[in-house]
Structure 1
Amino acid sequence: MTTLTDRPGSALLVIDVQRGVMAASVEADRVVTTVAGLVERARAAGVPVVWVQHSSEELPRGSDAWRYVPELVAAEGEPVVHKTYGDSFEDTDLEDVLAARGVGRLVVAGAQTDACIRSTLHGGFTRGYDVTLVTDAHTTEDLSAWGAPPPEQVVAHTNLCWSFQRAPGRVAEAVTSDEVDLAGTPG
């Protein structure tokens, strides 16, 4: 039901599952395994997989920390979108990548829940995309020393909030990896 009426397709967005990010994230092994399963299912269903890779002072481009975890490798022809902001759309070619593939629905997985995942969810939704958050396929690091809730609560709260997002002509949902219909429509 996306407002991008000429884009009936879905894409799996794999956001920042990079070595340096995942090294500090809770339940990283489980999340990586879940994301790998989603990637495999998307490829089998002919759903585009779009890789998003962050660079920053902590993740210098080309460094070991910047690289994706070894369990997740982009296949030939799968686009990699490089970003420097939380929202994967900001100052990147993500919109062009999605438009070229007829994508109006995003299925989102990766890291960090309280930064790039939330920013991209909202960025996509406000740009007219239907957006599905895969509830067991995202994670974050423990920032409770700086006043944030424990990471498990950050993930749970994001899942809860995203399941109640609404806007005219768009659908938002939060579903498990077992429930997500990668090629279908949300809701």
Structure 2
Amino acid sequence: MTTLPDRPNTALVVIDVQNGVVGEAHERDAVVANIGALVDKARGEGVPVVWVQHSDDQLEKGSEAWQYVPELAHGESEPVVHKTFGDSFEGTDLEAVLARAGIGHLVVTGAQTDQCIRNTIHGAFVRGYDVTLVADAHTTEDLSAWGAPPPEKVIAHTNMYWQEQAAPGRTAAVTDTANLTFSR
């Protein structure tokens, strides 16, 4: 039900599952395994997989920290979008990549829940996309020493409020890996 004309397709978006981002993330192995299962399912159903990779002073391009985790490998024909801001659309070619493929619905996974995931799901929604957040396929590190809630609460809160998002002509949804269907 996207507001984007002629965009009937769905894509799986994998955000920042990089060594330096998820190394200390909450339930890292389970989340990475869920993302891997979703990537396999998307590929099996012919659903495009779009990889997003962040770089900054702590994640220098080409460094070990910048690399995607070894459990996840992008396919040769799958686009990799390089970003330097939290919202995967800002200063990137993500919109062009999605437009070329007729994508109007994003299924979002990755890290960090309280930064790049939230920024991207909101950025997509205001740009007219339908957005499904996979509840057990995003994570964050523990920033409670700096006043943030514990990671499990950050994740639960994000899942809770995203399922209540509403806007004209767009849908927001939350589902888990086992119940995700790419068809709308």
- With the shorter chain as reference, the TM-score category is over 0.9
The 1-side partners of 2:179 and 2:124 are apart by 21
Task: Please name the residue that 2:143 is paired with.
Answer: 143
Task: Determine the structure 2 residue equivalent to 1:71.
Answer: 71
One-letter amino acid of the structure 1 residue matched with residue 174 of structure 2: A
Counterpart in the other structure of 1:38: 38
Structure-1-length-normalised TM-score: 0.98
Structure 1 runs of 4+ with >3 Å offset: none
**Length-normalised TM-score, structure 2:** 0.99
Equivalent residue number for residue 58 of structure 1: 58
Counterpart residue identity of residue 127, structure 1? R
Superposition pairs of residues 21-170 of structure 1, within 5 angstroms: 21-170=21-170
Unmatched 5+ stretches in structure 1: none
Distance 1:11 1:100 in 2: 12
1:146-172 superposed Cα distances (whole Å, 9 cap, x missing partner): 100000000000000000000000000
Shift, 1:84, TM fit = 0.2
**How many equivalent pairs are there?**
184
Measure, in 1, the Cα distance between the counterparts of 2:13 and 2:77. Answer: 15
Deviations 1:121-154 (A, max 9, x none): 0000000000000000000000001100000000
Shift, 1:5, TM fit = 2.4
1:45, 1:174 → 2: CA distance? 20
Per-residue deviation, 1:105:
0.2
Letter in 1 for 2:146: W
Give me the whole-angstrom Cα distance separating, in 2, the residues matched to 1:133 and 1:139. Answer: 12
1:59 is displaced (CA, Å) by 0.6
Instruction: Please tell me the residue identity of whatever aligns with 1:74.
Output: H
